[in-house]
A and B are shown apart, each in its own frame.
Chain A
Amino acid sequence: MANTSLRGLRIAITGGTSGLGLALVRRLVEAGADVAFIARRRSGIERVGQQYPDAHGIVGDVSQKDEIHPIAIQVLGALGGLDVLVNNASSLGPVPLALLADTECEDLDRAFATNVLGPFRLTRALLGSLAATAREGGVPLVVNISSDAAVTPYAGWGAYGASKAALAHLSRIWDVELAAEGIRTVSIDPGDMDTPLHELAVPDADRSSLKSPDQAAAEIIELIVARAARTPEPEATR
């Protein structure tokens, strides 16, 4: 069933060359979706591009304002439109993790640039396309990858947690405001996963206790399918 509903769905994923992003790319390509994935390093884009030649790799850094529109142009050039945007690229802030009181402003800045401003800018740049999808009868969706650190104040996770909390709240406000355009926004906590990001944060974690990114990807895709399969609501008349 999942395969049928994902076929041809146009999906862009930031941070698509490792961890959860890579697992999403793999599962979505296999399900027949039309996938664009974005990452900072060309080497990663080329490696994943060789594995999944049908997916469209785009080099870009969502934390950089000047790169947002070039990324958006390439996403829309590759896919011709957009149904789902997954803002997955994340920054921990200070590595190794630091107490908030020990966090350098530059590290906090980087966490917010990647985890809040980047998703905000990229979503804004792609909003016109998502709204066009809705006007044409589709059910566009923005998925923002969040964390339990956005809710629980874990010591040492200040930059990451505060920025993910901002992203989660941004998602809620956008979901309310964009309902009139037919665009839904969700924030998802995929759980603690065995990813390169987690290894940077907690190098001595017991990996067997961590969720596989593939399982988290499967859960997110289930949500995308559930949303995309929904009958579009009639045009808002408020």
Chain B
Amino acid sequence: MIPAAVAVQRPPDARLMVVDASGQVVHKRRADFPALVRSRDLVIANDAATLPASLSGTHLATGSPIELRLAGRRSLLPQHIDTFKAVAFGAGDFRTPTESRPLPPPFSVGDSLQLGPLRAVVRTILEHPRLIEVRFEGSAQKIWEGLARHGRPIQYSYLSDPLALWDTWTTIASRPVAFEPPSAGFLLDWRLVDSLRARGATFATLTHAAGISSTGDARLDAMLPLAEAYEIPARTADAIDAVRQRNGRIIAVGTTVVRALEDAAAYDGCVRAGRAVATLTIGPFTQLRIVDALVTGQHEPGTSHYELLRAFHDDSVLRRTLAEAEMRAYRTHEFGDSLFIVRRSPSAGTITATSDIRRGPLSEPASDSDRTAGRSG
């Protein structure tokens, strides 16, 4: 696979690989996505807007230049804006791949950081010397102003040009709480949202503070995803109940939606409205309780996104999708091609819940009631 090097959210030639419940792979255009959605389905997207989470500045004790990438926050409440988890980088910018960037100076608790107009203090060194908790000084209003005016979107070295903030906001972007864009949502525009409703499906959102996807440091990357705050609106929780009653599917737009919903349901299988922090890490042993299908990017093995796909299908199916993606030169990363993956049906020989009321209808082959899903694009 090749990285998509240009920041176009909806390139007209974007492709969509479809993996159905039986593990069959077909290739479509991404514009065909609405045709995969059935009238009883519920499509849930992450409406988080992206913060300009990259802050350049100075470690005052040593005078060393640093870049701080904000990566976590305890809640989405606007006033909880003073304390962040953050990953520190040494000198340089996005043109240097993160794995080749120099290390930042060693931090001590109490160190001051000057980040443009913002002053922050290191409160805690977390599980890695570059993973720290910082606290910004000043009022919430001053902190929001400093982030909005001084922060830059986290950049990617595979892109040919620096990302502007508007490149990172999805069409539906609402509150600015994500640290990197919930990029599966790039496929959405208002016409597409309208077309989902025209098909009789329901469109709903949640807000999930998508954290950073990679740091270039193997030990740090192994800790990803960090805990991520999210909020599920009452209407979305109601829509989930309604779709389960009418045997429709729940289609997540993006891995962050999967994480939020499955985290919310981890206790008793029910998604309740409200705020929480996702700590659940989804992988091959996770039993999905809420999400039936996922539309996401093309992910490579070794990433937390790929691990999440392993909850949808076993490794033999995923290996086949990877081989297909390699052969057809699918584009990876934030602005790349897409993957629509329906979780395996029980008949595929995997362990699934038997008490789940949605189980029967959902185990139908994807093509059963969808005229287009089984057709090769």
Contacts and interface: CB of A to CB of B under 8 A. Distances in A.
A128 B149 CA distance: 21
Contacts of A236: 197
A81 B174 contact: yes
Contacts of A231: none
Nearest to A133: B174
B149 A56 contact: no
Interface string A144-180: 0000000000000000000000000000000001001
B253 to A, nearest CB: 14
Interface stretch (A1-9, A18-26, A70-78, A208-216): A70-78
Contacts of A135: 204-205, 233, 235
Of B175, B198, B207, the most chain A CB neighbours within 10 A belong to B175
Say which size band chain A's interface belongs to. 20 to 34
Nearest to B171: A128
B145 A58 contact: yes
Interface string A61-96: 000000011111110111111000000000000000
B205 A79 contact: no
A50 to B, nearest CB: 14
Contacts of A81: 174-175
Interface string A48-66: 0000000011110000000
Contacts, number: 89
A237 B200 CA distance: 7
A72 B165 CA distance: 11
Contacts of B194: 180
Contacts of A72: 49, 176
B144 A74 contact: yes
Contact of B234 (A79, A125, A136, A235): A136
B166 A69 contact: yes
Nearest to A235: B197
B141 interface: yes
Contacts of B155: none
B148 A132 contact: no
A217 interface: no
Contacts of A78: 78, 140-141, 144
Contacts of B145: 58-59, 74
Contacts of B351: none
A172 to B, nearest CB: 17
Interface residue SS majority, chain B: mixed
A71 B197 CA distance: 31
Nearest to B165: A69
B235 A181 contact: no
Contacts of A129: 174-175
A238 interface: yes
A140 B197 CA distance: 20
B205 A132 contact: yes
B84 to A, nearest CB: 14
A137 interface: yes
A80 B173 contact: no
B51 A73 contact: yes
Interface of B: 47, 49, 51-52, 77-78, 81, 140-141, 144-145, 147-149, 165-166, 169-176, 190, 193-194, 197-198, 204-205, 207, 233-235
Given A73-B51, A132-B233, 9 more contacts: A70-B165, A74-B145, A125-B166, A128-B169, A128-B171, A132-B174, A135-B204, A137-B235, A180-B194
25 contacts: A69-B169, A70-B148, A70-B149, A73-B51, A73-B144, A74-B144, A76-B49, A76-B175, A77-B140, A77-B147, A77-B176, A80-B78, A81-B175, A125-B166, A127-B171, A127-B190, A128-B49, A128-B174, A132-B47, A132-B175, A132-B233, A135-B204, A136-B234, A137-B235, A180-B194
